[in-house]
Each structure stands twice: as C-alpha cells, then as structure tokens.
Structure 1
Amino acid sequence: MSRHLTSLPPSRELTAVSADGARIHVETYGPEGAPAVVLAHGWTCSIAFWAEQIRALAADHRVIAYDQRGHGRSPVPAGPAGYATRALADDLEAVLASTLAAGEKAVLAGHSMGGMTLMAAAGRPAFQEHAAAALLCSTGPSRLTAEATVVPGRPSERRTRLTRGVLGAKAPLGPVTAVSKKILKYATMGPGSAPERVDACARIVHACPRGARVGWSRVLSELDLEAGLRALDLPVAVVVGTADRLTPPVHSRAMAEALPQCVGLLELAGMGHMTPVEAPEAVTARIRELSETYLDVKEKA
C-alpha cells in the first residue's frame, strides 16, 4: 500500500542548472498547455512526497515537481556554500526558467523547506514573472528550533538546544524499522496517521542522503526569512496541521497576519507536519482552488 502512495504516473524529465552550476532534477506531468502548478518539497523529502497531488492534478494541470538539491535525484552540494536559502531561491528560479514560457503564470506550492524556498525567492525576477498564487504548507519563516515541540517541555534555551541537536543529528537513519517508523510518526505526523502513510513517509525520509540532511538542518536552525515572507505580495494560502511538532500552527497564524495578500488559513485538525501525505485531498483541493481562481483570472485579463 505504501508503495502505491509514492508511485508516480509517467513523466517527462529534464535538468535545470542553477546559478552555481548545481543540477536540479525536474519532472513534469500532465498535458502540455494545461494550467501549471509547481511543487517544492521539504527537508529530507523528494518528488515522491507529492505523489498524491501529482496523480490528482495531472489530469488537467501541467504539474512541475523537482528534487531540492541534495534530495532525490538532485546531487548533494559539493561544499558548505551549496547549503543556503540563496541556493534554494536560485534553484527555484532555474526550475521556473526551464519549464515555463516567458510570462507564463503558475501556482507555486511549497511544503516545509519548500515553503521557505518560496519565501527566499519572493523578490527574484523569475518568481515575480511566473508566480500567480502560492500555497505555504506546514512551514515557517524563522525561530524553527525555538518553536518546535519535538522535544517536550516549555519553551526555553535548553529545549531549543536539544531540538537543534535532535534535528541535526549526524547518525545515519539506517533501514526503515518498526522503531524508526514510531519515532518518525511522533516527530512528524499526527497521532491518528494510518500505518501505510507512516511507512510511505519513512521510506522517503530514510532515502535522503545523510550529508544533505545534516547540511540543511544547519540552515533551518538559523533560518530568518521574515523579510521574504513580507515580500510575497501575491495571493497566498496557508495550510497547517494542528498536531504539527516541527512547524506548529503558531508559525502559520503569524504568517497569515504578515502576508500582504493572505487568502485563507486552513488548520487541519489532528494532522502533523506531513500534510500532503496525511491529508492529501485537503492539500490538493487548496492547490486546485488557487489554480481555478488565479490562473483563470490571469488568462482572462
């Protein structure tokens, strides 16, 4: 069952070349000429994380998904300079330039680090040229380790240090086991998550190279994209699970207040951090709503 959750329909593959020469693996699905949706996954994930959205949307959208650098089929950065929010923005610009025609608009959806990618790229020319609307899904702009509740207890410097240590642990994750799935479920998913969805997420996360996992954890622990959040001056929807321990709803509520054009905050009861897998229909419906509302408007204008 979990393999079905991450299986993907036939795709067209291409490579986008980022500003520093990094090669970014891109896959497109659905009919050419259809309204475009661009999907940016989160930390330790890959294109397969969006499998349910891709299957549902590709019937009538051109869905563009890519592996963030160091994830999936995009090579691990050669050195520390490759781990930066600037690099995330560079990569997204390269993907947009490689897949969209001049002036073509798309709905951009980012989960977790993918949402941070949208914030990092908000002021970039390619983003402003191509983004019609955006979805920020289970994400936050700053204070990630301070607000995370993976480590129990009241907010404190000690809890923040412990959280940073847990998320940045250098030990290999090893094979997917019953114990590792229990740990991943606690940290990243809602308490009612179905076993097959936990298994699907575990297989994706465990496939992330250790170097990339650790390298990006350092970036996330020092993240400050508050300015990028305020620069997202386009219609933006926000989605979060009420049981999210990694980016708790406090982030999404603050983002909804700070965004120049927030078009709704959806809090999914009982869901954790992996909302596209835990609540695929809700996330897909929000993307489709943005497409039907804002891509049509752009085309008719």
Structure 2
Amino acid sequence: MKKAYIFPGQGSQFTGMGKGLYEQHEEVMRLFDMANEILVFDITAVMFSGTDEELKQTKVTQPAIFLHSVAQAAVAKDFHPDMVAGHSLGEFSALVASKVLRFEDGLRLVSKRALAMQAACEANPSTMAAILGLEDAKVEEVCASIEGEVVVAANYNCPGQLVISGTNRGIELACEKMKEAGAKRALPLPVGGAFHSPLMKPAEEELAKAISETTFHEGICPIYQNVDARPHTDPEEIKQNLIKQLTAPVRWTQTVQAMLADGATHFVECGPGKVLQGLVKKIDRNAEVSSAE
C-alpha cells in the first residue's frame, strides 16, 4: 500500500485554524513561535482569532495555510510518505514535509511569494473564473479564441472543473463563450489576480531569485509537481519547476492520475479543510482518502 500525502492551496483558511494542534503539541507551538519571528508579525493571533477579512490578506493567507499544513504533517501519526504533492501554494508545504526544504526556508519563500503575487496583482488588475461541465480541450480552445486579451487554463482541478485566469475583460468574454459552448456554469472568482498565468511574470522573476539562493535537499520521497504532474527527486529540477509554477497551470487532475498510476492507494490531506480529498474522489471515485491524524 502506497500513501500519498497532499497539501492544499489558498482558499482553505478559516478562523481558529491550527489552534487544536498548537494546544496539543509542543513541536507545533515551536513552529508557530518561529513563524511569528520570521514574518515579523503575530500570525498565530490572526490564525486563531482574526476576522475573515484579516485571513484573506495575501501576506497572511499563504503563510497561514503553509504553517497549518506543515504543522499537521510534523505531528501526523505514521508519517512515512511514499509520494507527496501540493496544490499551488501547497507544493511548498509538501517540500518541507518531505525534507526537501527546511521549515524556515519554506516559510520565507512562501512569504516572498505572497508579497510578489500581491504586487503583480496590483500592477495588472486581473482575475480568474471556474468553468464547470466542459471538457478540458474545449476550455483550452475557448481561451485560445479570445483575441487581444490574456486568457489561459490555470487550474486543472478535476474532470469537468477547470479554472481560467486572465485580464478582467478577457475573463468576462471567455465566460460568455464558455456558456455558449455548453458549460454548466462559468463563475468569476473573488480573487485579486490572474494566478498561474503570464500576468504573474513579475512575481515569477522575483521569486526565482529567492528560490535560486535557497538550499534544496534530496527529499525522503518523490514530489509530483504542478507544472508537469511528474515525480521529481533532483533538487535542481524541483527548483526550476517551482519557479515556473507561478505562470504555468496547476495540473492537479494529471498529478493525481500519475500518483494512482504509480501505485498510490491512499491519499492523506495535511492542512486546513478537505478540498483536495473531494477533488481526488472526483478524479477516481474508488480512491481512498482521509485527513491527517
């Protein structure tokens, strides 16, 4: 039996996240204290008692989900992954849990990533939309047909659920065309930018420098990365894929399919929420899923 540990991305945050782990484990308390010091603000207080609005701030959301995910993996029973993967931001959590990155380095990169993405969003107002009930190829075709605007497939979440990313006008036009093409729904998302699209290029360039200056180690198992849905163990390859991740699509459907093909029999989600467990079941209804204990 092969266990695949998976780590969620942005959007899974909630007030009180990580509090139970913090109160039960000294090791988690130490990670939270270290995070407060590295980030130079009290992320513990925001996670435990902040408002939804406070938790939605990019500089808070990404480090908060990362911290919760890594803490849960650190104290999980029988944490011996045969493979790991993370959805977008979750890839950083997966790299720390699998010992490719030290916690401190992972947190610093996540913080830089959040701020760089926020700056890119402010420089280029843009957005995303969820397209439900269309084949991936049709979604890609519609995106390519939008002239004079940036519109790309950004998140391949599961069959029939694909998120597109681009300029505000481009997404508006694409949503109309997706409905005409037979999409059940085309829903603009309440996000501040076009993540996983060429509009994130400035953030990618900024993060590339930070990643290149960070030491990556040989991990305890392969990580299936977002950009190509393939297993990687070479630290240099992992670095390059992580740099490309901000402007490339998240190939989650393909990642889960590859893990299944390589023998994954049980998917364990580490972090807030159960979003990834739901996506795994939509990709393969026979897959065994659970939250980390």
Q: Under a length normalisation based on structure 2, what TM-score does the superposition of the two structures give? A: 0.37
Q: Using CA pairs below 8 Å that are at least 6 residues apart, which structure has the higher relative contact order?
A: 2
